[in-house]
Amino acid sequence: MVYYSDSRVVLGYISNQTRRFYVYVSNKVERILNTTQSVQWRYIQSDKNPADLPSSGITSSGLASSEWLKGPEFLRNKGATADIQPTEFPIQEEDPEVRPVVKTYSTKLQPSSGLGAERFHRFSDWFKLLRAINDLLHITRSFGNKPTQPKSFKGWHICTSSTTPDDLAEASQIVIRTTQYTVFKAELDLLESRRPLPKASPLIKLDPYIDDKGLLRVGGRLSNAGIGERAAHPIIIPGSHYVSDLLISYYHAQVKHQRRHLTRGAIRSAGYWIVGEKSRVISIIDKCVRCRKCRGKEQIQKMADLPVERLSPAPPFRYAGLDVFGPWVVSTRKTRGGQARGKRWAVLFTCMSCGAIHIEVTESMEASSFINALRRFLAIRGPAKQIRSDCGTNFVGACNEIGIPLDVTDQKIKKYLLENNCQWIFNPPHSSHMGGTWERMIGISRRILDNMFAEFGPIQLTHEVLTTLMAEVTAIVNSRPLTPVPNDPQSPDVLTPK
């Protein structure tokens, strides 16, 4: 059976499978589809539709020759195919009978196998995690409060009551129990059903059991030792879980960021047994920022190449470096009330080639006193081709006094240095490492003097005694070995600056 309609809109409604209509059209379409199928409907043009004549009107003379009595021509002609399938008349978007398209989004929740343990990653501190769990417990219990209690303590609220150690202990049990059921669910199911653990289980050597609070603990034979369950049967913590990292970081901070031994001791004393604890503790400590700051190795500055005068053979003190050290209090003269005292300094000259030293005692740090010491040095050791020093004020003043300007780029300076055949080089300011040759000799000389003073006891230093001690210090330093002492009996000589 085939049905015909000259309404393209109605045929689109009947063949619709996706759109929704308002109540009137929806009821009509539902009634049509209850008795017919959409594939039975065809389209017929209005001028060929006999059912259109009563509504449009027709005269009595035209009724005899109309299609009202004969029917459409394509029904009488078997070869005619004037009908059209209704699927060729889609519904227009602006049709007022079509309901607007409403998009609905659904959220599919995946069941969590860890009972919420993945939320622990939001916390960076073990104590903060326990406080958060305790607040949730308090709010959960507040929903069951009696009406007599204040409204501020019922439902979701900010808790102002103090937290007790028992509250934190309960929160700790919840966190650990959740963590254990996340990682060791298979082992817990076997233990609850009193079946043995497989040999491949990481807990097989710990002989685990479940206590009355549902926590997995280390077994053993120490139940009757009287040392408490915490020490005899520690709680098992999976080493691969984030909670173990929080515990290690917490107890590492409790022992003030000490090394692995003290951190592991604090964890074990607290009653926890972390699987793979040693490697996990080392990994956490290596990532600790404070430990890296406190125990980090100092960076070693790569030194520049040695100057030419340190590597070229030359007569002693032809290339010299100098510095001043001291002071020492000496007795200058006797007075009625005792002795007048003054200070003395020492100027140390170091040979850049052989490492020998020469010490001159000065009465002050002024440039004039240093010039006298320099003149005595040059008179004894001979003329120097090059002198190096730091930018001490007495050195700079001495250069100005004896006529050695500091600006070596000036033509007058070049002429002066050429005539006197001498060059004074100043190291950059605040660069004591560039004078390591003479700074090292000053350290050795100071240690020798300290031992001399300790040997002589409380002596009254005079200028003459100090000069004598400096001469002995010079002799001792100049007799030091410059190379390792040989063990070969065929070469017993020791190379010294002398």
The whole-number pLDDT of residue 416 equals: 42
**334 and 434 share one domain:** yes
Per DSSP, which regions of 6-104 are E strands? 41-43
**130 and 248 share one domain:** yes
- Does residue 105 form part of some domain? no
**205 and 67 share one domain:** no
Q: Tokens 């290690």: give the residue.
A: 248
CATH number for 388: 3.30.420.10
- Does residue 493 form part of some domain? no
- List pLDDT tens digits, range 31-46: 998 999 888 888 888 8
- Does residue 299 form part of some domain? no
The whole-number pLDDT of residue 50 equals: 83
The Cα–Cα gap between 207 and 198 comes to: 12
- Does residue 195 form part of some domain? yes
- Does residue 101 form part of some domain? no
Specify the amino acid at residue 86. Answer: P
Last residue of a domain, one of 294, 318, 347: 294
**344 and 247 share one domain:** no
Last residue of a domain, one of 254, 271, 294: 294
Is the distance from CB of 86 to CB of 14 less than 8 angstroms? yes
Mean of pLDDT values over 303-311: 84
Q: Tokens 């001028």: give the residue.
A: 47
**461 and 392 share one domain:** yes
- Does the predicted model carry a pTM greater than 0.85? no
For the chain, the farthest-separated pair of C-alpha atoms sits apart, in whole angstroms, at 167
* Residue 134 burial (C-beta neighbours within 10 Å; 0-12, 13-18, 19+): buried
Give the alpha-carbon dihedral of 317, 322, 328, 332, to 10 degrees. 60
- How many domains does the chain divide into? 3
| H or E stretch at 347 | strand 338-351
**417 and 460 share one domain:** yes
Question: How much is the mean pLDDT over the chain?
Answer: 82
Count other C-beta atoms under 10 Å from residue 161's C-beta: 8
- Does residue 423 form part of some domain? yes
- Does residue 56 form part of some domain? yes
Domain that holds residue 196: 117-294
Which residues are CB-contacts of 210 (< 8 A; sequence separation ≥ 6)?
Answer: 188, 191, 192, 216, 217
- List pLDDT tens digits, range 437-476: 888 999 999 999 989 888 877 677 888 989 999 999 999 9
Among residues of the chain, what percentage have pLDDT more than 70?
86
**80 and 140 share one domain:** no
Is the distance from CB of 3 to CB of 41 less than 8 angstroms? yes
The whole-number pLDDT of residue 447 equals: 92
**152 and 266 share one domain:** yes
**30 and 173 share one domain:** no
**248 and 316 share one domain:** no
The whole-number pLDDT of residue 16 equals: 82
Q: Which residue has the higher pLDDT, 481 or 408?
A: 481
- Does residue 211 form part of some domain? yes
3-state secondary structure of 459: coil
Give the alpha-carbon dihedral of 251, 255, 261, 263, to 10 degrees. 0
Specify the amino acid at residue 295. Answer: R
- List pLDDT tens digits, range 243-293: 999 999 999 999 999 989 999 999 999 999 999 999 999 999 999 999 988
